Amino acid sequence: MSRGKRKNGTAKLGLALALLLILLVLQACGKSGELTQGSSGGSAAPATGEPKRDVPAVLNFGFVGSTKWPTGAEGWGFYKGIIQEELKKYGITEVKVTGFKIGPDLNEAVISERVDLGSSGDTPAINARATGAKTKLITQPDIESVSVLIAKNDGPKSVAELKGKTVAVVKGSLMHRYIVGLLKEQNVKDVKLISIGSNTADSLAALSRGEVDAVAATDYLVYNLMQKGGYTILDDARKHPDLLATTAIVATDKYLSKFPDFPKIWNEVRLKALNDLKAHAEEYYKFVAENTGTPLEGVRELYPVDSISAVNFTDAGLKRLEGSKKFLVEEKLAEKDFDLNQWIAK
């Protein structure tokens, strides 16, 4: 072979190698670009502005109550399976619903992170936050929780007649806030407030035995008791709008760190349950009657469908929440004050 031919062959081989090298570089760049877009076989990176999710398969929901289900849109949604089905879209395959007799028991479960989501009267939720519980308030489904003051027929006949008497109430409860506010509003002094046992049922039992003169209780417990006869209602929080309480649903910070957009999704899911509830109002009332053991006519009075809030927060609800917090701080029932705006999930 001549030197010229060898030279031309070497040049062609060099050119081919150079083209091959360029092709390999371009392929590597393409693969590198694909990896940055999340196509390496792992989880895709979230779109810009979308919160990162690491959603646990199980959601633990706790509520205050001795019934199988809570009431309202949440209870209906769980009972019908609406909430469970909607949450499956986000990777939540199981929802565990647990009832707690009193707020402090639920608070303990929330603080120990055995519960991801907790529903109670606003005062237990506020107390937990004030003691350092790492939670965020995500909705107020009910802003008209009613407390009632009840006595026996042979006992005091008015709030004024409670002077020098003993009233039982669960310390730190929404009923506690109501009775303290009521006595201040009507300038009734020298009333002894005591806490008996762990729940209102213990207080009502003490009233039936004549050990106390009156009890501040929730409206549905009073309604059931009134059906038996022998008792008188001295006052009702509906006469004092500022003394109405709210229901608070909180989520733990730990859960929200894994599912940052959960508050928005929860309220969308809850609204679907509420819309279904409204479309089947009579069926809902029957569900509540069976769930709580309250007569159907009483359910319509105590749990009206139109009292269930369709939005997560209202001005009236937040005002009552602030009032509850102020009461707890002033009465030294809350460990410390805090800013509600920093507690509310935005």
Query: What are the φ/ψ torsions at residue 212 (nearest 5 degrees)?
Result: -135, 165
Q: Which residues contact 256 (CB under 8 A, 6 or more apart)?
A: 136, 262, 263, 345
Q: What is the pLDDT of residues 203-254, one digit of tens each?
A: 999 999 999 999 999 888 899 889 889 999 999 999 999 899 999 999 999 9
Q: Please report, rounded to a whole number, the percentage of residues in the chain having pLDDT higher than 90.
A: 73
Q: pTM of the entire structure?
A: 0.80
Q: Which of 45-54, 108-117, 133-142, 264-273 has the lowest mean pLDDT?
A: 45-54
The whole-number average pLDDT for the span 253-282 is 97
Model pLDDT for residues 115-163, shown as the tens digit of each residue: 999 999 999 899 999 999 999 999 999 999 999 999 999 999 999 999 9
Does residue 23 surpass a pLDDT of 70?
A: no
pLDDT at 255 over 90: yes
Rounded Cα–Cα distance for residues 57 and 161 (Å): 56
Query: Which CATH code, of 3.40.190.10, 3.20.20.70, 3.40.50.150, 3.40.1080.10, is assigned to 58-144+246-343?
Result: 3.40.190.10
What sign results for the dihedral spanned by CA atoms 115, 121, 125, 131?
negative
Architecture of domain 147-243: 3-Layer(aba) Sandwich (3.40)
Task: Locate 77 and state its tokens.
Answer: 């949604």
Where residue 102 falls among pLDDT bands split at 50, 70, 90? confident
